[in-house]
Structure 1
Protein backbone atom coordinates (compact mmCIF):
# COMPACT_ATOMS: atom_id res chain seq x y z
CA UNK A 1 0.00 0.00 0.00
CA UNK A 2 1.32 3.38 -0.96
CA UNK A 3 -0.14 6.79 -0.17
CA UNK A 4 0.62 10.25 -1.49
CA UNK A 5 1.02 13.33 0.67
CA UNK A 6 -1.67 15.97 0.28
CA UNK A 7 -0.73 19.24 -1.40
CA UNK A 8 0.12 22.20 0.82
CA UNK A 9 -2.04 25.20 -0.18
CA UNK A 10 0.00 28.35 -0.80
CA UNK A 11 -1.08 31.97 -1.23
CA UNK A 12 -0.78 33.03 -4.86
CA UNK A 13 2.14 35.41 -4.39
CA UNK A 14 4.18 32.91 -2.36
CA UNK A 15 3.44 30.13 -4.85
CA UNK A 16 4.53 32.30 -7.77
CA UNK A 17 7.79 33.25 -6.07
CA UNK A 18 8.66 29.66 -5.19
CA UNK A 19 7.51 28.45 -8.60
CA UNK A 20 9.75 30.96 -10.37
CA UNK A 21 12.73 30.11 -8.14
CA UNK A 22 12.31 26.38 -8.75
CA UNK A 23 11.95 26.93 -12.50
CA UNK A 24 15.09 29.07 -12.58
CA UNK A 25 17.00 26.36 -10.74
CA UNK A 26 16.48 23.97 -13.68
CA UNK A 27 15.90 26.43 -16.51
CA UNK A 28 19.22 28.29 -16.31
CA UNK A 29 21.19 25.22 -17.37
CA UNK A 30 20.87 26.19 -21.02
CA UNK A 31 18.73 23.14 -21.83
CA UNK A 32 15.07 23.76 -22.60
CA UNK A 33 12.65 20.90 -21.97
CA UNK A 34 8.88 21.24 -22.15
CA UNK A 35 7.52 18.53 -19.88
CA UNK A 36 3.94 19.26 -20.99
CA UNK A 37 4.62 18.11 -24.58
CA UNK A 38 4.02 16.08 -26.70
CA UNK A 39 0.47 15.68 -25.43
CA UNK A 40 -0.30 12.14 -24.28
CA UNK A 41 3.21 10.73 -24.74
CA UNK A 42 4.20 8.51 -21.78
CA UNK A 43 7.47 8.75 -19.91
CA UNK A 44 10.03 5.99 -19.43
CA UNK A 45 8.43 5.53 -15.99
CA UNK A 46 4.63 5.36 -15.54
CA UNK A 47 2.81 8.13 -13.66
CA UNK A 48 1.53 5.55 -11.15
CA UNK A 49 5.10 4.67 -10.13
CA UNK A 50 6.91 5.17 -6.85
CA UNK A 51 9.52 7.17 -8.79
CA UNK A 52 7.01 9.87 -9.77
CA UNK A 53 6.21 10.43 -6.10
CA UNK A 54 9.81 10.33 -4.80
CA UNK A 55 11.41 12.47 -7.52
CA UNK A 56 8.94 15.35 -7.06
CA UNK A 57 10.59 16.27 -3.72
CA UNK A 58 13.26 18.87 -4.48
CA UNK A 59 14.79 18.80 -0.99
CA UNK A 60 15.34 15.05 -0.84
CA UNK A 61 16.54 15.09 -4.47
CA UNK A 62 19.19 17.69 -3.56
CA UNK A 63 20.33 15.61 -0.57
CA UNK A 64 20.31 12.41 -2.58
CA UNK A 65 22.22 13.95 -5.47
CA UNK A 66 25.07 15.05 -3.20
CA UNK A 67 25.20 11.62 -1.55
CA UNK A 68 25.36 10.00 -4.99
CA UNK A 69 28.31 12.19 -6.03
CA UNK A 70 30.16 11.36 -2.81
CA UNK A 71 29.72 7.65 -3.54
CA UNK A 72 30.80 8.14 -7.16
CA UNK A 73 33.89 10.06 -6.04
CA UNK A 74 34.85 7.17 -3.77
CA UNK A 75 35.58 5.17 -6.96
CA UNK A 76 38.85 6.42 -8.52
CA UNK A 77 37.91 5.98 -12.20
CA UNK A 78 34.62 7.83 -11.83
CA UNK A 79 36.21 10.50 -9.64
CA UNK A 80 39.08 11.28 -11.99
CA UNK A 81 36.85 11.03 -15.06
CA UNK A 82 34.57 13.73 -13.67
CA UNK A 83 37.34 15.93 -12.29
CA UNK A 84 39.59 15.71 -15.35
CA UNK A 85 36.94 16.16 -18.03
CA UNK A 86 34.00 18.15 -16.66
CA UNK A 87 33.38 21.81 -15.94
CA UNK A 88 32.39 21.07 -12.35
CA UNK A 89 35.02 23.24 -10.68
CA UNK A 90 34.76 26.14 -13.12
CA UNK A 91 30.99 26.17 -13.68
CA UNK A 92 29.52 24.25 -10.78
CA UNK A 93 26.04 25.73 -10.89
CA UNK A 94 25.40 24.94 -14.55
CA UNK A 95 26.68 21.39 -14.06
CA UNK A 96 24.34 20.91 -11.08
CA UNK A 97 21.39 22.33 -13.01
CA UNK A 98 22.02 20.07 -15.98
CA UNK A 99 22.34 17.02 -13.73
CA UNK A 100 19.09 17.89 -11.94
CA UNK A 101 17.29 18.47 -15.22
CA UNK A 102 18.57 15.14 -16.57
CA UNK A 103 17.09 13.34 -13.57
CA UNK A 104 13.75 15.08 -14.15
CA UNK A 105 13.73 14.19 -17.86
CA UNK A 106 14.55 10.55 -17.11
CA UNK A 107 11.50 10.22 -14.85
CA UNK A 108 8.98 12.81 -16.08
CA UNK A 109 9.98 13.68 -19.65
CA UNK A 110 8.19 12.27 -22.68
CA UNK A 111 9.86 9.03 -23.77
CA UNK A 112 11.16 10.55 -27.02
CA UNK A 113 12.77 13.45 -25.12
CA UNK A 114 14.34 11.14 -22.54
CA UNK A 115 15.72 8.80 -25.21
CA UNK A 116 17.22 11.71 -27.16
CA UNK A 117 18.79 13.23 -24.04
CA UNK A 118 20.30 9.92 -22.90
CA UNK A 119 21.66 9.20 -26.39
CA UNK A 120 23.43 12.58 -26.29
CA UNK A 121 24.95 11.80 -22.90
CA UNK A 122 26.18 8.41 -24.13
CA UNK A 123 27.81 10.03 -27.19
CA UNK A 124 29.59 12.61 -25.02
CA UNK A 125 30.73 9.95 -22.57
CA UNK A 126 32.31 8.00 -25.40
CA UNK A 127 34.90 10.79 -25.72
CA UNK A 128 35.71 10.84 -22.00
CA UNK A 129 38.73 8.64 -21.39
CA UNK A 130 42.10 8.83 -19.75
CA UNK A 131 44.08 7.47 -16.84
CA UNK A 132 43.51 7.96 -13.14
CA UNK A 133 46.15 9.48 -10.89
CA UNK A 134 46.91 5.86 -9.96
CA UNK A 135 47.53 4.90 -13.60
CA UNK A 136 44.30 3.00 -14.36
CA UNK A 137 42.78 3.47 -17.83
CA UNK A 138 39.11 4.41 -18.01
CA UNK A 139 36.35 5.32 -20.45
CA UNK A 140 33.14 6.91 -19.16
CA UNK A 141 31.09 4.29 -21.02
CA UNK A 142 32.81 1.35 -19.28
CA UNK A 143 29.96 -0.81 -18.03
CA UNK A 144 31.26 -1.17 -14.47
CA UNK A 145 31.43 2.62 -14.14
CA UNK A 146 27.95 3.09 -15.65
CA UNK A 147 26.55 0.48 -13.26
CA UNK A 148 28.16 2.23 -10.27
CA UNK A 149 26.87 5.68 -11.26
CA UNK A 150 23.35 4.31 -11.82
CA UNK A 151 23.44 2.47 -8.48
CA UNK A 152 24.70 5.44 -6.48
CA UNK A 153 22.07 7.77 -7.94
CA UNK A 154 19.32 5.29 -7.16
CA UNK A 155 20.61 4.83 -3.63
CA UNK A 156 20.97 8.56 -2.98
CA UNK A 157 17.48 9.60 -4.10
CA UNK A 158 15.84 6.62 -2.41
CA UNK A 159 17.70 6.88 0.89
CA UNK A 160 17.22 10.65 1.21
CA UNK A 161 13.45 10.27 0.79
CA UNK A 162 13.40 7.29 3.16
CA UNK A 163 15.39 9.08 5.85
CA UNK A 164 13.96 12.61 5.75
CA UNK A 165 10.47 12.37 4.22
CA UNK A 166 8.95 9.03 5.19
CA UNK A 167 10.13 5.42 5.46
CA UNK A 168 9.86 3.44 2.24
CA UNK A 169 8.64 -0.14 2.50
CA UNK A 170 10.82 -2.92 1.09
CA UNK A 171 8.56 -3.34 -1.95
CA UNK A 172 8.75 0.40 -2.65
CA UNK A 173 12.54 0.35 -2.51
CA UNK A 174 12.65 -2.57 -4.94
CA UNK A 175 10.13 -0.80 -7.18
CA UNK A 176 12.42 2.21 -7.47
CA UNK A 177 15.20 -0.02 -8.81
CA UNK A 178 12.97 -1.86 -11.28
CA UNK A 179 11.42 1.41 -12.50
CA UNK A 180 14.93 2.73 -13.26
CA UNK A 181 15.80 -0.21 -15.53
CA UNK A 182 14.57 1.26 -18.87
CA UNK A 183 16.76 4.36 -18.42
CA UNK A 184 19.67 2.29 -17.09
CA UNK A 185 19.66 0.13 -20.22
CA UNK A 186 19.61 3.21 -22.47
CA UNK A 187 22.67 4.53 -20.63
CA UNK A 188 24.37 1.16 -21.00
CA UNK A 189 24.21 0.33 -17.29
CA UNK A 190 22.91 -3.16 -18.05
CA UNK A 191 24.32 -4.56 -14.81
CA UNK A 192 22.80 -1.90 -12.52
CA UNK A 193 21.06 -3.24 -9.39
CA UNK A 194 17.44 -4.31 -9.88
CA UNK A 195 16.65 -4.60 -6.17
CA UNK A 196 17.86 -3.60 -2.71
CA UNK A 197 19.56 -6.99 -2.36
CA UNK A 198 21.51 -6.46 -5.58
CA UNK A 199 22.51 -2.97 -4.42
CA UNK A 200 23.81 -4.39 -1.14
CA UNK A 201 25.85 -6.97 -3.04
CA UNK A 202 27.30 -4.29 -5.33
CA UNK A 203 28.37 -2.14 -2.37
CA UNK A 204 30.20 -5.12 -0.86
CA UNK A 205 31.85 -6.00 -4.19
CA UNK A 206 32.98 -2.39 -4.74
CA UNK A 207 34.31 -2.05 -1.20
CA UNK A 208 37.99 -2.73 -2.01
CA UNK A 209 37.99 0.00 -4.70
CA UNK A 210 36.49 2.79 -2.59
CA UNK A 211 39.02 5.25 -1.18
CA UNK A 212 39.39 8.74 0.29
CA UNK A 213 40.58 11.65 -1.84
CA UNK A 214 41.19 15.39 -1.41
CA UNK A 215 38.70 15.82 -4.28
CA UNK A 216 35.89 14.74 -1.93
CA UNK A 217 36.73 17.59 0.45
CA UNK A 218 37.05 20.03 -2.47
CA UNK A 219 33.64 18.96 -3.77
CA UNK A 220 32.02 19.52 -0.38
CA UNK A 221 33.64 22.96 -0.06
CA UNK A 222 32.37 23.94 -3.50
CA UNK A 223 28.88 22.75 -2.59
CA UNK A 224 28.88 24.84 0.58
CA UNK A 225 29.76 28.01 -1.34
CA UNK A 226 27.89 27.75 -4.65
CA UNK A 227 24.42 29.39 -4.65
CA UNK A 228 22.70 26.12 -5.55
CA UNK A 229 19.39 26.80 -3.79
CA UNK A 230 16.99 29.71 -4.36
CA UNK A 231 17.63 32.70 -2.08
CA UNK A 232 14.96 31.94 0.57
CA UNK A 233 16.28 28.37 0.97
CA UNK A 234 19.99 29.27 0.96
CA UNK A 235 20.41 29.02 4.76
CA UNK A 236 19.41 25.35 4.48
CA UNK A 237 22.17 24.46 2.06
CA UNK A 238 24.86 23.60 4.60
CA UNK A 239 22.42 21.40 6.53
CA UNK A 240 21.37 19.54 3.38
CA UNK A 241 25.02 18.78 2.61
CA UNK A 242 25.48 17.30 6.08
CA UNK A 243 22.24 15.38 5.60
CA UNK A 244 23.73 13.85 2.45
CA UNK A 245 26.82 12.68 4.32
CA UNK A 246 24.62 11.16 7.04
CA UNK A 247 22.77 8.83 4.65
CA UNK A 248 25.98 7.23 3.37
CA UNK A 249 26.58 3.69 4.64
CA UNK A 250 28.67 4.08 7.80
CA UNK A 251 31.61 2.07 6.50
CA UNK A 252 31.80 4.12 3.30
CA UNK A 253 31.61 7.38 5.26
CA UNK A 254 34.48 6.09 7.41
CA UNK A 255 36.41 5.09 4.28
CA UNK A 256 35.98 8.62 2.88
CA UNK A 257 37.20 10.09 6.20
CA UNK A 258 34.08 12.21 6.66
CA UNK A 259 34.17 12.78 10.40
CA UNK A 260 31.77 14.16 13.01
CA UNK A 261 32.02 17.70 11.61
CA UNK A 262 29.75 16.47 8.83
CA UNK A 263 27.07 15.18 11.22
CA UNK A 264 23.76 16.89 11.96
CA UNK A 265 22.85 17.67 15.54
CA UNK A 266 19.33 16.95 16.75
CA UNK A 267 17.95 20.40 15.91
CA UNK A 268 19.56 20.41 12.47
CA UNK A 269 18.17 16.96 11.71
CA UNK A 270 14.69 18.10 12.74
CA UNK A 271 15.03 21.19 10.53
CA UNK A 272 16.00 19.09 7.49
CA UNK A 273 13.12 16.69 8.14
CA UNK A 274 10.55 19.50 8.39
CA UNK A 275 11.89 21.05 5.18
CA UNK A 276 11.84 17.74 3.28
CA UNK A 277 8.35 16.81 4.47
CA UNK A 278 7.05 20.26 3.59
CA UNK A 279 8.61 20.02 0.12
CA UNK A 280 6.76 16.75 -0.38
CA UNK A 281 3.48 18.68 -0.21
CA UNK A 282 4.64 21.62 -2.33
CA UNK A 283 2.67 21.71 -5.60
CA UNK A 284 4.40 24.10 -8.02
CA UNK A 285 2.52 24.49 -11.30
CA UNK A 286 5.62 24.97 -13.49
CA UNK A 287 7.50 22.02 -12.00
CA UNK A 288 8.36 18.98 -14.18
CA UNK A 289 6.05 16.56 -12.29
CA UNK A 290 3.02 18.83 -12.59
CA UNK A 291 3.75 19.64 -16.24
CA UNK A 292 4.18 15.93 -16.94
CA UNK A 293 0.82 15.21 -15.33
CA UNK A 294 -0.75 17.79 -17.65
CA UNK A 295 0.89 16.12 -20.66
CA UNK A 296 -0.86 12.89 -19.72
CA UNK A 297 -4.22 14.54 -18.99
CA UNK A 298 -3.89 14.05 -15.23
CA UNK A 299 -4.88 16.71 -12.67
CA UNK A 300 -2.18 18.98 -11.25
CA UNK A 301 -2.56 17.40 -7.82
CA UNK A 302 -2.43 13.80 -9.07
CA UNK A 303 0.78 13.10 -7.15
CA UNK A 304 -0.63 14.69 -4.00
CA UNK A 305 -3.89 12.75 -3.71
CA UNK A 306 -4.32 9.91 -1.19
CA UNK A 307 -4.03 6.72 -3.18
CA UNK A 308 -3.84 3.02 -2.55
CA UNK A 309 -1.51 0.94 -4.67
Structure 2
Protein backbone atom coordinates (compact mmCIF):
# COMPACT_ATOMS: atom_id res chain seq x y z
CA UNK A 1 0.00 0.00 0.00
CA UNK A 2 2.63 2.55 1.06
CA UNK A 3 4.92 1.30 -1.69
CA UNK A 4 2.22 2.31 -4.17
CA UNK A 5 2.21 5.80 -2.70
CA UNK A 6 5.98 5.95 -3.17
CA UNK A 7 5.39 5.41 -6.89
CA UNK A 8 3.70 8.82 -7.02
CA UNK A 9 7.11 10.35 -6.30
CA UNK A 10 8.54 9.09 -9.57
CA UNK A 11 8.56 11.27 -12.71
CA UNK A 12 5.59 10.69 -15.05
CA UNK A 13 5.95 8.94 -18.38
CA UNK A 14 7.99 10.98 -20.81
CA UNK A 15 9.70 12.97 -18.04
CA UNK A 16 12.20 10.38 -16.78
CA UNK A 17 15.07 11.99 -14.94
CA UNK A 18 18.16 10.60 -13.22
CA UNK A 19 18.56 12.54 -9.96
CA UNK A 20 21.90 10.81 -9.34
CA UNK A 21 23.63 12.85 -12.06
CA UNK A 22 25.76 14.88 -12.53
CA UNK A 23 27.89 13.65 -9.67
CA UNK A 24 28.39 16.20 -6.92
CA UNK A 25 26.14 18.96 -8.28
CA UNK A 26 24.18 20.60 -5.43
CA UNK A 27 20.42 21.12 -5.31
CA UNK A 28 18.56 24.34 -4.59
CA UNK A 29 17.60 23.00 -1.15
CA UNK A 30 20.26 21.97 1.39
CA UNK A 31 20.54 18.19 1.91
CA UNK A 32 20.64 18.60 5.68
CA UNK A 33 17.56 20.83 5.73
CA UNK A 34 13.90 20.39 6.50
CA UNK A 35 12.80 20.12 2.86
CA UNK A 36 14.74 16.93 2.17
CA UNK A 37 12.83 15.22 4.98
CA UNK A 38 9.43 16.66 4.06
CA UNK A 39 9.56 15.67 0.40
CA UNK A 40 10.67 12.11 1.10
CA UNK A 41 7.35 11.16 2.70
CA UNK A 42 4.63 10.28 0.15
CA UNK A 43 1.75 10.50 2.64
CA UNK A 44 2.50 14.03 3.80
CA UNK A 45 3.31 15.02 0.21
CA UNK A 46 -0.13 13.94 -0.99
CA UNK A 47 -1.93 15.58 1.93
CA UNK A 48 0.11 18.77 1.79
CA UNK A 49 -0.22 19.10 -1.96
CA UNK A 50 -4.01 18.82 -1.78
CA UNK A 51 -4.18 21.38 1.05
CA UNK A 52 -2.08 23.78 -1.02
CA UNK A 53 -4.42 23.44 -3.99
CA UNK A 54 -7.46 24.05 -1.78
CA UNK A 55 -5.88 27.32 -0.70
CA UNK A 56 -4.95 28.22 -4.27
CA UNK A 57 -8.44 27.48 -5.60
CA UNK A 58 -9.90 29.76 -2.93
CA UNK A 59 -8.13 32.78 -4.48
CA UNK A 60 -10.29 33.85 -7.47
CA UNK A 61 -7.51 34.79 -9.91
CA UNK A 62 -5.40 31.72 -9.14
CA UNK A 63 -8.53 29.56 -9.38
CA UNK A 64 -9.33 30.80 -12.87
CA UNK A 65 -5.75 30.41 -14.02
CA UNK A 66 -5.50 26.84 -12.76
CA UNK A 67 -8.96 25.68 -13.80
CA UNK A 68 -9.11 27.32 -17.21
CA UNK A 69 -5.56 26.67 -18.41
CA UNK A 70 -4.60 23.17 -17.29
CA UNK A 71 -5.49 19.56 -18.06
CA UNK A 72 -6.39 18.84 -14.45
CA UNK A 73 -10.05 18.11 -15.15
CA UNK A 74 -9.20 15.73 -18.01
CA UNK A 75 -6.27 13.89 -16.42
CA UNK A 76 -5.79 14.71 -12.73
CA UNK A 77 -3.34 11.84 -12.23
CA UNK A 78 -0.95 13.16 -14.88
CA UNK A 79 -1.23 16.73 -13.59
CA UNK A 80 -0.50 15.50 -10.07
CA UNK A 81 2.60 13.63 -11.21
CA UNK A 82 3.89 16.57 -13.26
CA UNK A 83 3.41 18.97 -10.37
CA UNK A 84 5.05 16.48 -8.03
CA UNK A 85 8.00 16.09 -10.38
CA UNK A 86 8.51 19.87 -10.47
CA UNK A 87 8.44 19.94 -6.66
CA UNK A 88 10.94 17.07 -6.45
CA UNK A 89 13.26 18.91 -8.81
CA UNK A 90 13.23 22.08 -6.70
CA UNK A 91 14.31 20.06 -3.65
CA UNK A 92 16.45 17.20 -4.98
CA UNK A 93 17.35 18.04 -8.58
CA UNK A 94 20.79 19.27 -9.66
CA UNK A 95 20.74 23.06 -9.67
CA UNK A 96 21.43 23.48 -13.40
CA UNK A 97 18.59 21.18 -14.50
CA UNK A 98 16.21 22.68 -11.95
CA UNK A 99 16.91 26.20 -13.18
CA UNK A 100 16.17 25.08 -16.75
CA UNK A 101 12.91 23.41 -15.69
CA UNK A 102 11.72 26.49 -13.80
CA UNK A 103 12.62 28.74 -16.74
CA UNK A 104 10.42 26.59 -19.00
CA UNK A 105 7.53 26.81 -16.54
CA UNK A 106 7.92 30.59 -16.31
CA UNK A 107 7.82 30.85 -20.11
CA UNK A 108 4.67 28.72 -20.23
CA UNK A 109 3.05 30.83 -17.53
CA UNK A 110 3.79 33.88 -19.64
CA UNK A 111 0.99 32.77 -21.98
CA UNK A 112 -1.55 32.20 -19.21
CA UNK A 113 -3.88 35.14 -18.70
CA UNK A 114 -7.60 35.88 -18.73
CA UNK A 115 -10.41 37.22 -16.63
CA UNK A 116 -12.21 35.78 -13.62
CA UNK A 117 -16.01 35.30 -13.74
CA UNK A 118 -16.43 38.72 -12.12
CA UNK A 119 -14.34 40.35 -14.85
CA UNK A 120 -11.04 40.77 -12.99
CA UNK A 121 -8.03 40.45 -15.28
CA UNK A 122 -5.25 38.10 -14.22
CA UNK A 123 -1.95 36.75 -15.52
CA UNK A 124 -0.14 33.75 -14.15
CA UNK A 125 3.19 35.57 -13.77
CA UNK A 126 1.67 38.30 -11.58
CA UNK A 127 4.08 38.47 -8.59
CA UNK A 128 1.17 38.68 -6.14
CA UNK A 129 -0.30 35.42 -7.41
CA UNK A 130 3.12 33.76 -7.60
CA UNK A 131 3.77 34.69 -3.97
CA UNK A 132 0.48 33.09 -2.94
CA UNK A 133 1.09 29.88 -4.89
CA UNK A 134 4.63 29.49 -3.55
CA UNK A 135 3.50 30.26 0.00
CA UNK A 136 0.61 27.80 -0.04
CA UNK A 137 2.85 25.04 -1.36
CA UNK A 138 5.46 25.56 1.35
CA UNK A 139 2.79 25.75 4.04
CA UNK A 140 0.94 22.69 2.75
CA UNK A 141 3.91 20.35 2.55
CA UNK A 142 5.56 21.44 5.80
CA UNK A 143 2.32 21.56 7.79
CA UNK A 144 1.30 18.08 6.63
CA UNK A 145 4.65 16.72 7.79
CA UNK A 146 4.33 18.59 11.09
CA UNK A 147 0.83 17.25 11.75
CA UNK A 148 1.09 13.71 10.51
CA UNK A 149 4.75 12.63 10.52
CA UNK A 150 6.71 14.47 13.22
CA UNK A 151 6.06 17.82 14.93
CA UNK A 152 8.37 20.63 13.84
CA UNK A 153 9.96 23.15 16.14
CA UNK A 154 9.39 26.85 15.45
CA UNK A 155 12.86 27.02 13.92
CA UNK A 156 12.11 24.10 11.59
CA UNK A 157 8.86 25.72 10.47
CA UNK A 158 10.81 28.86 9.60
CA UNK A 159 13.46 26.81 7.82
CA UNK A 160 10.88 25.28 5.48
CA UNK A 161 10.03 28.75 4.15
CA UNK A 162 13.65 29.92 4.06
CA UNK A 163 14.73 26.85 2.08
CA UNK A 164 12.01 27.50 -0.52
CA UNK A 165 13.39 30.95 -1.30
CA UNK A 166 15.84 30.03 -4.11
CA UNK A 167 13.12 28.28 -6.12
CA UNK A 168 10.56 30.99 -5.33
CA UNK A 169 12.85 33.70 -6.68
CA UNK A 170 13.43 31.73 -9.89
CA UNK A 171 9.66 31.48 -10.38
CA UNK A 172 9.34 35.24 -9.86
CA UNK A 173 7.82 35.03 -6.38
CA UNK A 174 10.19 37.58 -4.86
CA UNK A 175 7.75 38.33 -2.05
CA UNK A 176 7.13 34.74 -0.97
CA UNK A 177 7.24 34.33 2.83
CA UNK A 178 10.65 33.69 4.37
CA UNK A 179 9.32 32.46 7.70
CA UNK A 180 6.20 31.04 9.34
CA UNK A 181 5.35 34.50 10.70
CA UNK A 182 5.52 35.97 7.20
CA UNK A 183 3.23 33.19 5.95
CA UNK A 184 0.68 33.98 8.64
CA UNK A 185 0.86 37.67 7.74
CA UNK A 186 0.29 36.88 4.04
CA UNK A 187 -2.63 34.59 4.91
CA UNK A 188 -4.23 37.34 7.01
CA UNK A 189 -3.73 39.89 4.22
CA UNK A 190 -5.15 37.54 1.57
CA UNK A 191 -8.08 36.28 3.67
CA UNK A 192 -10.54 39.01 2.53
CA UNK A 193 -10.12 37.83 -1.08
CA UNK A 194 -10.54 34.11 -0.37
CA UNK A 195 -13.92 32.69 -1.29
CA UNK A 196 -15.77 29.49 -1.95
CA UNK A 197 -16.70 28.19 -5.37
CA UNK A 198 -18.32 25.12 -6.95
CA UNK A 199 -14.82 24.45 -8.32
CA UNK A 200 -13.67 23.56 -4.80
CA UNK A 201 -16.31 20.84 -4.62
CA UNK A 202 -15.43 19.64 -8.11
CA UNK A 203 -11.77 19.45 -7.17
CA UNK A 204 -12.58 17.35 -4.10
CA UNK A 205 -14.81 15.06 -6.16
CA UNK A 206 -12.17 14.57 -8.86
CA UNK A 207 -9.39 13.91 -6.37
CA UNK A 208 -11.54 11.46 -4.41
CA UNK A 209 -12.67 9.46 -7.43
CA UNK A 210 -9.83 9.69 -9.97
CA UNK A 211 -7.68 6.62 -10.58
CA UNK A 212 -4.66 8.06 -8.80
CA UNK A 213 -4.29 4.99 -6.58
CA UNK A 214 -5.46 1.48 -7.54
CA UNK A 215 -9.17 0.81 -6.98
CA UNK A 216 -8.65 -1.28 -3.80
CA UNK A 217 -6.81 1.70 -2.28
CA UNK A 218 -9.36 4.37 -3.18
CA UNK A 219 -10.44 4.46 0.48
CA UNK A 220 -6.92 5.69 1.32
CA UNK A 221 -7.15 8.35 -1.34
CA UNK A 222 -10.38 9.66 0.21
CA UNK A 223 -8.88 9.48 3.72
CA UNK A 224 -5.90 11.60 2.67
CA UNK A 225 -8.25 14.08 1.04
CA UNK A 226 -10.06 14.48 4.37
CA UNK A 227 -6.71 14.90 6.10
CA UNK A 228 -5.90 17.76 3.73
CA UNK A 229 -9.19 19.52 4.45
CA UNK A 230 -8.60 19.05 8.18
CA UNK A 231 -5.30 20.98 8.11
CA UNK A 232 -6.43 23.75 5.78
CA UNK A 233 -6.30 27.02 7.74
CA UNK A 234 -9.10 29.48 8.29
CA UNK A 235 -10.91 31.11 6.66
CA UNK A 236 -10.79 28.43 3.95
CA UNK A 237 -11.60 25.45 6.18
CA UNK A 238 -14.94 27.02 7.11
CA UNK A 239 -16.04 27.67 3.53
CA UNK A 240 -19.36 25.93 2.76
CA UNK A 241 -17.67 23.63 0.24
CA UNK A 242 -15.24 22.29 2.87
CA UNK A 243 -17.32 22.39 6.02
CA UNK A 244 -17.76 18.91 7.47
CA UNK A 245 -15.34 17.29 5.01
CA UNK A 246 -12.42 16.93 7.41
CA UNK A 247 -11.29 13.86 9.32
CA UNK A 248 -13.74 11.73 11.24
CA UNK A 249 -13.26 10.44 14.76
CA UNK A 250 -10.09 8.39 15.05
CA UNK A 251 -8.90 9.05 11.50
CA UNK A 252 -6.14 11.50 12.47
CA UNK A 253 -4.45 8.67 14.36
CA UNK A 254 -4.72 6.42 11.31
CA UNK A 255 -3.19 9.06 9.02
CA UNK A 256 -0.30 9.55 11.48
CA UNK A 257 0.31 5.81 11.60
CA UNK A 258 0.41 5.63 7.81
CA UNK A 259 2.65 8.68 7.45
CA UNK A 260 5.10 7.50 10.10
CA UNK A 261 5.19 4.03 8.57
CA UNK A 262 5.94 5.59 5.19
CA UNK A 263 8.91 7.40 6.73
CA UNK A 264 10.38 4.02 7.69
CA UNK A 265 10.17 2.51 4.21
CA UNK A 266 13.45 2.27 2.26
CA UNK A 267 13.64 5.03 -0.34
CA UNK A 268 15.11 2.55 -2.86
CA UNK A 269 15.57 4.35 -6.19
CA UNK A 270 13.32 7.35 -5.47
CA UNK A 271 14.42 10.95 -6.24
CA UNK A 272 15.73 11.60 -2.69
CA UNK A 273 17.77 8.38 -2.74
CA UNK A 274 19.22 9.19 -6.16
CA UNK A 275 20.00 12.77 -5.09
CA UNK A 276 21.78 11.51 -1.97
CA UNK A 277 24.02 9.35 -4.17
CA UNK A 278 24.72 12.34 -6.42
CA UNK A 279 25.87 14.51 -3.55
CA UNK A 280 27.73 11.68 -1.83
CA UNK A 281 30.04 11.65 -4.83
CA UNK A 282 31.74 14.73 -3.40
CA UNK A 283 31.13 13.96 0.26
CA UNK A 284 28.19 16.38 0.68
CA UNK A 285 25.99 13.62 2.14
CA UNK A 286 27.44 11.03 4.48
**TM score, norm. by length of structure 2:** 0.94
Q: 1:284: how far off?
A: 2.3
Show the 5 A alignment for 1:125-274: 125-229=109-213, 233-255=217-239, 257-260=241-244, 262-274=245-257
SS at match of 2:114: strand
Using the TM superposition, name which of 283-292 and 170-179 deviates more.
283-292
Q: Deviations over 1:149-202 (max 9, x none)?
A: 000001100110111111100000000111100000000000000001100110
Q: 1:289: how far off?
A: 0.4
Shift of the 25–177 alpha-carbon distance from structure 1 to 2, 3 Å rule, reads closer
Cα distance between partner residues in 2 of 1:249 and 1:105:
27
Shift of the 29–96 alpha-carbon distance from structure 1 to 2, 3 Å rule, reads farther
Cα distance between partner residues in 1 of 2:157 and 2:240:
25
Show the 5 A alignment for 1:96-115: 96-115=80-99
Query: Would the aligned equivalents of 1:243 and 1:272 in 2 still touch at CA under 8 Å?
Result: yes
2:264 paired with 1:281: yes
Q: Which residue of 2 aligns with 1:60?
A: 44
Q: Deviations over 1:38-84 (max 9, x none)?
A: 11100001111111111100100000000000000000000011111
Q: Which residue of 2 aligns with 1:293?
A: 276
Query: Would the aligned equivalents of 1:45 and 1:51 in 2 still touch at CA under 8 Å?
Result: yes
Which ranges in structure 2 are unaligned for 5 or more consecutive residues? none
CA RMSD of aligned residues (A): 2.0
Cα distance between partner residues in 2 of 1:151 and 1:126:
20
Structure 1 runs of 4+ off > 2 angstroms? 21-30, 229-235
Cα distance between partner residues in 2 of 1:200 and 1:89:
31
Q: Which residue of 2 aligns with 1:10?
A: none
Cα distance between partner residues in 2 of 1:25 and 1:234:
18
Cα distance between partner residues in 2 of 1:217 and 1:279:
29
Q: 1:110: how far off?
A: 0.5
Query: Would the aligned equivalents of 2:10 and 2:271 in 1 still touch at CA under 8 Å?
Result: no
Which ranges in structure 1 are unaligned for 5 or more consecutive residues? 1-13, 304-309
Q: Which residue of 2 aligns with 1:37?
A: 21
Aligned residue pairs total 284
Cα distance between partner residues in 1 of 2:228 and 2:3:
23
**TM score, norm. by length of structure 1:** 0.87
Cα distance between partner residues in 2 of 1:104 and 1:250:
28
